């Protein structure tokens, strides 16, 4: 399908790659009956996409019903969506069909779907899985054949973690995801939209069209647009109606952007900064490797202590232990020197030092201390029972008893 023709038909302005990709996905999924979840910030124009999907689907001759889930009170949302029987609640003077019944063979667009109560989400999941639902106050199962397109401006994964949205419903709705880009990421589209809105308002109010000088244009494109296309449209209308001068300057435009700050512009990076970042990352990887090697040596040392306890004192094994201790001290000195050098470099560049929240406590390397530690751990593990503690340590109960006396454990 021709994306440009789709834009013209549905009044979509812009040429950004992400926008064109979203339109292309909508056109491709339209002939299927798959559920679609449209995500994007408020004011990005999500409402145009379910219309595209419905128009190019086999259901285009059926009803298309948009529903703003956030605008319907929680107490009546089930009745609105699924209908109710006469007398099912106060004010239910007659039987009423819900949107899912009315839109049979058509499409329902559930905007702000995250606002649905959890009880309604259960009902919606049943419709999506089996096409069945119950009117409020009825026990008779109704059938419907409706395609559901949903939209949200919040992070549903986070809502699931907070138990505000059902995970099974999320995966059922999110069969085909479509993400609408925020206006601040659409580059030249911002000025194209401004010109379109300015032309429309000039015709509506029968006045000359406004335009921007170069500085104002740059400000327009660098602004963050938290309200997206909706905010841009509102500001363009205000400028068109209020300002007498038809060429808007940056100073004038700034009055309509009260939260505009130059520091919101993208930060510039020097090539040398990027090199320093890569160097620091590489050095951190080396530090981590050294620390892991040190941990490995300590594990070997502990095993050696265990063997000494079991077999008795052996000169060769003690030499091996002494060598491991020397390696540990050398590697520790290397790590400390490297960290000190990095901290000095950070201080020179006025970068605050980042302190690790984990406290490193120097570990005792005395063989006697290690032997006492292992014996105590074995006794604690077996609730003071020397027989099982001796088996755990791999020594005789008699030897363990002698060690307990010797170390006054």
**DSSP annotation of 107:** E
Task: Report yes or no: 24 and 3 within 8 Å, Cβ to Cβ.
Answer: yes
Residue 269, CA atoms < 13 Å, CB-side half-sphere: 7
pLDDT value of residue 360: 42
Buried b (16+ CB within 10 A) or exposed e, 82-111: bbbbeebeeeeeeebebbbbebeebbbbbb
- State whether residue 388 is helix, strand or coil: helix
Domains and CATH numbers, the chain: 3-181 (3.40.50.300), 184-264 (1.10.8.60), 271-348+363-407 (no CATH)
pLDDT in tens, the chain (409 residues): 689 999 999 999 999 999 999 999 999 999 999 999 999 999 999 999 999 999 999 999 999 999 999 999 988 999 999 999 998 888 888 999 999 999 999 999 999 999 999 999 999 999 999 999 999 999 999 999 999 999 999 999 999 999 999 999 999 999 999 999 999 999 999 999 999 999 999 999 999 999 999 999 999 999 999 999 999 999 999 999 999 999 999 999 999 997 766 554 444 445 444 444 444 545 555 555 566 566 666 666 666 666 666 666 555 555 565 666 666 666 666 666 666 666 555 555 554 444 444 444 445 556 677 778 888 888 888 888 888 887 877 788 778 777 887 877 8
d(C-alpha 90, C-alpha 71), whole Å = 21
Distance, CA of 118 to chain centre: 22
* Sign of the CA dihedral with 69 first, then 70, 71, and 76 last: positive
Residue 389: CB atoms within 10 Å: 23
Q: Are 190 and 221 within 8 A, CB to CB?
A: yes
The residues, any chain, with a CB within 8 Å of residue 164's CB and separated by 6 or more, are: 114, 118
pTM here is 0.63
Give which of 237, 234, 226 is closest to 185, Cα–Cα. 226
Q: Rounded distance, CA 188 to CA 210, Å?
A: 18
Helix (H, G, I), strand (E, B) or coil at 148: strand
């Amino acid at each position: 399908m021709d994306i440009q023709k789709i834009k013209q038909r549905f009044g979509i302005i812009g040429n950004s790659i992400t926008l064109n990709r979203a339109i292309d996905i909508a056109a491709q999924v339209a002939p299927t009956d798959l559920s679609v979840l449209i995500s994007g910030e408020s004011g990005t124009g999500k409402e145009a996409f379910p219309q595209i999907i419905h128009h190019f689907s086999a259901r285009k001759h059926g009803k298309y019903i948009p529903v703003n889930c956030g605008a319907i009170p929680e107490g009546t949302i089930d009745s609105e969506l699924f209908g109710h029987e006469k007398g099912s609640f106060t004010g239910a003077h007659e039987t009423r069909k819900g949107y899912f019944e009315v839109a049979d063979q058509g499409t329902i667009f559930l905007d702000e779907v995250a606002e649905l109560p959890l009880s309604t989400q259960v009902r919606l999941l049943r419709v999506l899985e089996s096409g069945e639902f119950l009117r409020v106050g009825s026990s008779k199962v109704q059938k419907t054949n409706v395609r559901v397109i949903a939209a949200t401006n919040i992070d549903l994964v986070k809502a699931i973690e907070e138990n505000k949205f059902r995970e099974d419903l999320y995966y059922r709705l999110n069969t085909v995801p479509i993400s609408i880009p925020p206006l601040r990421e659409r580059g030249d589209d911002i000025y194209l939209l401004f010109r379109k809105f300015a032309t429309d308002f000039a015709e509506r109010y029968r006045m000359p069209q406004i335009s921007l000088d170069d500085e104002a244009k740059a400000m327009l494109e660098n602004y963050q647009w938290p309200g997206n296309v909706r905010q841009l449209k509102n500001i363009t209308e205000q400028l068109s109606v209020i300002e007498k001068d038809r060429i808007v300057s940056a100073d004038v435009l700034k009055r309509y952007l009260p939260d505009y700050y130059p520091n919101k512009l993208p930060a510039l990076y020097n090539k040398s900064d990027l090199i320093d970042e890569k160097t620091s990352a590489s050095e951190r990887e080396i530090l981590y490797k050294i620390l892991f090697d040190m941990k490995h040596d300590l594990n070997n040392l502990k095993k050696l202590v265990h063997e000494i306890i079991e077999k008795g004192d052996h000169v060769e094994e003690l030499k091996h232990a002494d060598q491991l201790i020397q390696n540990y001290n050398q590697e520790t000195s290397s790590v400390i020197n490297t960290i000190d050098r990095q901290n000095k470099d950070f201080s020179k560049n006025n970068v605050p030092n980042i302190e690790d929240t984990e406290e490193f406590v120097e570990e005792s390397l005395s063989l006697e201390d290690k032997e006492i530690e292992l014996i105590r751990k074995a006794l604690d593990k077996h609730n003071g029972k020397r027989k099982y503690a001796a088996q755990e340590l791999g020594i005789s109960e008699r030897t363990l008893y002698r060690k307990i006396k010797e170390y006054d454990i």
